Chains A and B, each alone.
Chain A
Amino acid sequence: MKKLAIYTAILLLAVGGVGSGYYLSQSADMEPTDKLRIAMSTTPLSAPIIIARQLEIFKKHKIDVELMPFRGGHLCFEAMMTGQADLATSSESVVMFNSFERQDFRLLASFVESDNDLKLITYGTDEKPAITDLNHRKIGMVKASASEFFVDAFLIITGQHDLSIEKVYLPPQDLGPALIAGDVDAISVWEPFGYQLNRAHPDKIYQFPSKGTYNLSFNLVSTKQHAQSHYRQHVKVLKAIDEAQLFIAKYPLQAKQIISEYLKVPLNELEWTWSDYVFRLSLNNSLLSNLQTQGRWAVAREKTIALSVPDFRTLLNDKALRHVLESSKED
């Protein structure tokens, strides 16, 4: 009986130890909720952030996030740099263009990629146009954005970089109407504008096959100072995004439903692009390579007064991301 009592005591101690550990680990999370503002582009690419907000995953990680919607990543970036928001969602093109102007911001993580988000679209042609048909034509695009790089990259890859085209810079929401109105002959535009044009004029819209030409990534960006001083909050935000991405992978239908309701985008429109998205947290050399490519292009095409590309490595701050990936390894 004595021995049984000893073994029972050991078992109870073990259970007690585990319980205490669990309690302590729980109590470690019992810290005050932090507040953070994220300038978010109103595109399905922001899905993980929207899901984390709607499913209160941010709250679960003790962070109160206020989402500030903007039409495009460049506006989000601007809002973040002017202090309206703490974090911004921006494409790597926005990051690249801005990196020539300033070095006081940091990429915390890339959370989505798409290889088919940018489209080169023409309108009204009965026959399938050739790329050479764009010679001496006006192409609408958003200045210093992914859309401008995409057009150039596409023409270069297809061997048509010597074509004489006239670039017409317009806000993204004005590109579609300009194309329909005949103000431009083609537009380089991102989703969901491509879908909207296709839905409105299914027979008159032509999209050049451009798969593989360009990889768009959406990234979480903060100021340099914020990245240094708000490491803990950034870890929480990235953890919540990681959890939201797991939800998207497990329950894609529910995820699309939530995004559709939040962005007030029809489910069909969402379906159009959803399969092109790869939701995952990363900050690796492929993004660096993408930035380098676009940076070299910007210098070569004199999109900047700079004569060389900045050192993009200094703009990447993966400290918070590494912490999140390491802790997810332990789960």
Chain B
Amino acid sequence: MINTRLKIILLISLLLTSIIIATFIALKHLQDANFDRLDYIMQTENAVDTLRSRLWILQEFQDEEALTQTKAAHDILSQQLSTHHFKKIAITSIFTNLIRMNDNLGALLTFADKGLATTTKHGITSTNGMLTARFNMTLQAMSEELTSAQSLMIRHVAHQQKIILYFAICILLLGSLALLHQIQATLKVFNQSLLRLTKGILRLSKGDLQTKIMIQQDNELSDVAEQFNKMTLRLNETTIKKEALQFEVQRQTQQLQAQHEKLKFVAEHDDLTQLYSRSAFERQIDTAIARCHRTGIHAALLFIDLDKFKQINDSLGHHIGDQVLVECAARLLKSVRSSDICARIGGDEFVIWLEPISGLLEVKLVCDKILKNLSQPLNLPSHQVRLEASIGIALLPNDDVARQALIKIADDNMYLAKLTTGNSYQFSESANSALNNLHFL
């Protein structure tokens, strides 16, 4: 865990700092202690020097006062030596030896005490001379011992300082390496994890919902990666649901559209012939009349009624009658342009809207074509039927410009046509009077 690693780094850093502080404290403590010890040695040296000067006076003057002063100096040195507190064997041995030498000086002073009365003589064979030699020798040895103690003490201090410093250096070196290792390892883990996270987020931002972040190490960023993966998964699932929903909505919309179209078709068309119903035809005519008005083009409304259809229906049955109507509708559609509008508005009544027309002749040609196609024999399974029809024609704008009026004019013209036996068609009288002069009024 990165958090744990950072805590370890902090701990090691604190440890290293503590070691440095502890080293300084130890060195300070050592310095103080050793200063006291060196001071003690120097005080002892001073006591030896004092004794040396007193002994010189004693040897020179050989009187009671000098002896008293020498003994006092000897006592001070004895006292000083008795208070040593060294622990190191080599230095303790030196002080033991110093105490011995000081005792010897004490014994020699006793001899000096007795020799005060003797005639003062110099030379090695005199008491004074031999004592002086012995005093000097012993004091010399004491000074040398103290110098040696001082030297040992300094070496001891240096050695202790060296040990403390080496120890601290080793610990600091090892600690620093451990710290470095931890930092490197943490940085590596952090960088790797962060890089994978960044790449994962980048892939997601580009729309890759399948992306997954894989972090091997168990750390805080791996938790983030795990949450990211969960989030991506949910996002993916949500997106899939949305798409499915959209698809379903689209499908159902299309279905509804189809149903709507079907219903509209059913509503607007005749069930049997699939031609426009009367209402649909009327809406279509209204739109067409408005269009003709706007553009100034001509149109014609044909009202077609089958002759003797009732007889067919009665004699051959409704089933055959229906087949006849269906065939009739097909032949009508075949007779006109795809842009013309055909409708069935009654049992055997059909209407056709021709638009545009350029003249009466064109209308007549269409009527002839219709009648010709309708007149073709109709082969039923058991019968052959030959149809005849009467067509009433109303012209826009020559006859009228209103739908109802046009239908009525056409219907009326159809009845006029019925008056003629067989196939026939009938224009309005005004139209007939100007057969070749079709124009807008």
Contact = CB atoms under 8 A, between A and B. Distances in A.
Interface of A: 1, 3-4, 7-8, 11, 115, 153, 156-159, 161, 209, 211-213, 215, 246, 249-250, 278, 280, 282, 284-286, 289-290, 292-293, 296-297, 300-301, 329
B188 interface: yes
A289 B173 contact: no
A159 B108 contact: no
B123 A293 contact: no
B155 A157 contact: no
B73 interface: no
Contact of A4 (B106, B137, B148, B180): B180
Contacts of A280: 93
Given A215-B137, A278-B100, A289-B137, A209 B107 contact: yes
A121 B7 CA distance: 81
Nearest to A214: B134
Contacts of B93: 249, 278, 280
A297 B318 CA distance: 180
Given A211-B103, A296-B124, A329 B133 contact: no
Contact of A156 (B100, B127, B184): B127
B104 A3 contact: no
Given A8-B177, A159-B114, A293-B130, 11 more contacts: A156-B130, A157-B131, A158-B114, A211-B104, A212-B103, A212-B104, A249-B90, A249-B93, A278-B93, A286-B137, A290-B137
B124 A293 contact: yes
Contacts of A156: 124-127, 129-130
Q: Which 4 A-B pairs have the closest CB atoms?
A: A212-B104, A286-B141, A212-B107, A293-B133
Contact of A212 (B108, B148, B177): B108
B410 interface: no
A293 B125 contact: no
15 contacts: A4-B181, A7-B176, A7-B180, A8-B177, A115-B101, A115-B104, A156-B126, A158-B114, A159-B114, A212-B106, A213-B107, A286-B138, A286-B140, A293-B130, A297-B125
B97 interface: yes
Contacts of B177: 4, 7-8, 11
Contacts of B90: 246, 249
A213 B184 contact: no
Contact of A285 (B129, B134, B140, B151): B140
B317 interface: no
Contacts of B118: 159
Contact of A11 (B134, B136, B173): B173
A78 B341 CA distance: 162
Contacts of A215: 137-138, 141
B138 A278 contact: no
B105 A4 contact: no
Nearest to B90: A249
B111 interface: yes
A290 B126 CA distance: 16
B388 to A, nearest CB: 106
B115 interface: yes
Contacts of A4: 177, 180-181, 184
A212 B125 contact: no
